[in-house]
Amino acid sequence: MSWKDEADEIARRKAEAVKMGGTEAVARHHEKGRLTVRERIAKVTDEGSFSEHGPIAGSQEEDGFSPANYIVGLAEIGGRAVAVGGEDFTLKGGSPNAAGLRKSVYAEELALNYKVPLVRLLEGGGGSVRGSSGKRPSGDPVFATPRFLSIAQAMGVVPVASAALGPVAGFPAARLAASHFSVMSAATAQLLIAGPKVVERALGHDLTKEELGGAKVHAKSGAIDNVAPDEEGALEQIRQFLSYMPQNVFADMPRGDQGDPTDRRDEALLDIIPKDRRKPFKMRKLIEHVVDQDSFFEMTRAYGPGQITGLARLNGHSVGILGNDCRHYAGAMTAEGSQKVRRFMDLCNTFRLPIVSFVDEPGFMIGPDSEAAGTIRHGTAAVMAAVQSRVPWVSIIVRKAFGVAAAAHFGPNGHVLSWPSAETGALPLEGGVAVAFSREIAAADDPDAKRKELEQMLAAAQSPFPRAETFSVHDLIDPRDTRPALCDWLRFAAPLLDEMKSPYTPTMRP
């Protein structure tokens, strides 16, 4: 007597589970230009590394075995362990069946138990009025653990990266937002609190999924970080993001390629800042000249576009990058930009990424729209995030550093370098002269000439040389020496990161 019949039944159910919603359902999914969740897992993880948990979770129906419509397990990305999971849209449109819901909730627990990054491959409509069992919903017991508890806990311990690869609504949409990095496939994904039919029934708006929550909408809304042209591009961005991250807040930082010389001096930096302060320049080009070649990975570009946030490497070390894009409101900090910068600083502090800040900040954005957006509250929260930082900071004043907003670009006990193009003060020169000398300008025979005379006179006082002479900066440097100076600073700052192997716990902010 043997257990062959039972072993054969296990094999049969595993074979049925791999078929997901069946041949026709998978074909319809492919016709829409979308990969199945199993194909996505295979593409984002190292070949042959996926170990599925609960492969025969599901239910025995009258017409055969119906598998769970959430796939989850452990795998490797770049040779490092990760937890990975996602909805199977070929069954119930990704809306969880009973087993699928249990496996979905388990994903965060799995990442926390093994202290490995969590990758979510999202495509589903969340809950259904029918309930996960198809019967009348009865609700969770009153003693049940809140479903969002492990989601919140994961964000404090392990890197969480999520991709929207098809329609994502309800609970999956909230999970997408609860990530350190999120990316949408422009070709296949929409992010929705509720779908078009619900919106039309409730509010009378007749919109398509794309109009309601497509990639163009959410690149600017700040609900996601990045947009990729297609699914494969989104999965590649997840792999790239994780390459900068430690496995968890207790682990050592990964070290990338160290082939770019630390003493490299780039001649292009000498004239990248125009002498005319009214002329813009390309901050991203400046950053790329300084960090390890081809290592700059920008995040959340279209949201709060006056502020630049991203990851890079210096001599192989992962670092967080802050900067200003003077082509958007001269780089002024808006309400959106403030929220973007605060969130990014929290990411760096959580995972012990030293912050490199390229400063060209004219101050908070002014005007009625800025006031209506509550910029001062969001901006002050960004300033508090900076001063509560635990990681080492280095700030390079490449052009402007004015007003309260400038304080969001300098960390406590940070290393401060200045370029000869730097200008600092309480207010930008032009606005400050108009306020401080309004009577003299109005009384002059030629007000415009008087204003220009005063601006030229005070411009000399904003020279960076007096700040260097009074030791208000650590050094005034030739722009070409920026990379060597930063790599030298990091040589002494990087060992401090070992003292920070714990969760990051700031106080309440405005």
**Residues with Cβ < 8 Å from 258, sequence gap 6 or more?**
315, 316
Rounded-to-integer distance, Cα 303 and Cα 64, Å: 48
Residue 271 DSSP label: G
Provide mean pLDDT across the span 75-104: 90
Give percent above pLDDT 70 in the chain: 92
- Enumerate the CATH 3.90.226.10 domain ranges in the chain, comma separated: 7-243, 267-426+463-498
Predicted pLDDT at 278: 84
CA 187, 190, 195, 196 dihedral sign is negative
486 pLDDT above the threshold of 60 = yes
For residue 125, give the 3-state DSSP assignment: coil
Provide mean pLDDT across the span 125-132: 57
Per-residue pLDDT tens digits for 376-410: 999 999 999 999 999 999 999 999 999 899 999 99
**Residues with Cβ < 8 Å from 242, sequence gap 6 or more?**
77, 78, 80, 82, 117, 119, 159, 161
Q: Is residue 426 very low, low, confident or very high in pLDDT (cuts 50, 70, 90)?
A: low
The fold for domain 267-426+463-498 equals 2-enoyl-CoA Hydratase; Chain A, domain 1 (3.90.226)
Whole-Å CA distances, 216 to 213, 441, 508: 8, 46, 33
Class of domain 7-243 as given by CATH = alpha beta
- What are the backbone dihedrals phi and psi of residue 305, each rounded to the nearest 5 degrees, phi first? -65, -10
Provide mean pLDDT across the span 95-105: 86
Per-residue pLDDT tens digits for 18-55: 898 888 888 899 999 999 999 999 999 999 999 999 99
Predicted pLDDT at 141: 83
Beta bridge partners of 59: 66
Predicted pLDDT at 68: 86
Q: Which two tokens stand for residue 479?
A: 């722009």
153 pLDDT above the threshold of 80 = yes
343 pLDDT above the threshold of 90 = yes
User: Considering only 187-201, 292-306, 357-371, 424-438, which range has the smallest mean pLDDT?
Assistant: 424-438
CB 338 within 8 A of CB 383: no
431 pLDDT above the threshold of 70 = no
Predicted pLDDT at 276: 87
448 pLDDT above the threshold of 80 = no
Instruction: With residue 81 as reference, give the H or E element that holds it.
Output: strand 80-87
Of 272-281, 430-439, 440-449, 462-471, which has the strongest mean pLDDT? 272-281
Rounded-to-integer distance, Cα 165 and Cα 184, Å: 6
Predicted pLDDT at 438: 67
